């Protein structure tokens, strides 16, 4: 008889802090610079929690300076909100607004009822090897923000691979 894992038995809202943190697969995609492209020319950018008609989310291969480009982890995780005020911390309260998270994001997958992917470290004895092997993570695909001028080179760094998901 197999036991039910916590992510199968509990909703995200019911998870403990430790369980919540364990759901993160560590792919690093949430640390990529992304932008909302709009068909309409707007004079003022307004923050949004949904994509509006005529808008699309564009990902770049440019990643936060504090990201470990080999593992996908944050090198300054406990300080990230202070060091990078725009760093979005996904919480139980803002989970409903996760349109900006890649399709493969484990929080998004659970929130949408798709379950954890077979490559998730929780299903692989804590190993990220399968995730890297299947090209779900940032490993080998990114450049640090300190090495790029996004204002000048933005279009050269737009990529589609962050939307890749597999199971």
pLDDT tens column, 92-145: 888 887 777 889 999 999 999 999 999 999 999 999 999 999 999 999 999 999
Look up residue 110 and give its two tokens: 């659970």
> Poorest-confidence range of 15-24, 44-53, 132-141?
44-53
Residue 46 lies in a domain: no
Give the count of domains, the chain.
Answer: 1
Range of the domain at 119: 11-37+53-163
pLDDT at position 97 is 76
Residue 44 lies in a domain: no
Residue 72 lies in a domain: yes
pLDDT at position 3 is 82
Residue 47 lies in a domain: no
What's the 3-state SS for 115-154? CCCCCCHHHCCCCCHHHHHCCCCCCCCCEEHHHCCHHHHH
Residue 44 has pLDDT above 80, yes or no: no
């Amino acid at each position: 008889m197999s036991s039910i894992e916590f992510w199968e038995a509990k909703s995200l809202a019911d998870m403990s802090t430790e369980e919540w943190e364990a759901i993160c697969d560590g792919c690093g995609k949430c640390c990529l610079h992304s932008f909302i492209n709009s068909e309409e020319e707007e004079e003022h950018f307004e923050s949004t929690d949904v994509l509006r008609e005529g808008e699309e989310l564009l990902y770049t291969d440019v990643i936060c300076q504090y990201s470990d480009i080999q593992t996908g982890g944050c090198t300054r995780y406990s300080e990230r909100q202070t060091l990078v005020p725009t760093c979005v911390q996904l919480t139980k309260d803002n989970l409903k607004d996760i349109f900006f998270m890649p399709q493969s994001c484990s929080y998004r997958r659970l929130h949408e009822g798709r379950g954890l992917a077979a490559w998730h470290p929780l299903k692989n004895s804590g190993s990220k090897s399968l995730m890297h092997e299947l090209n779900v993570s940032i490993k080998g695909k990114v450049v640090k923000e300190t090495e790029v001028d996004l204002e000048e080179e933005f279009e050269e760094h737009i990529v589609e691979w962050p939307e890749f998901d597999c199971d």
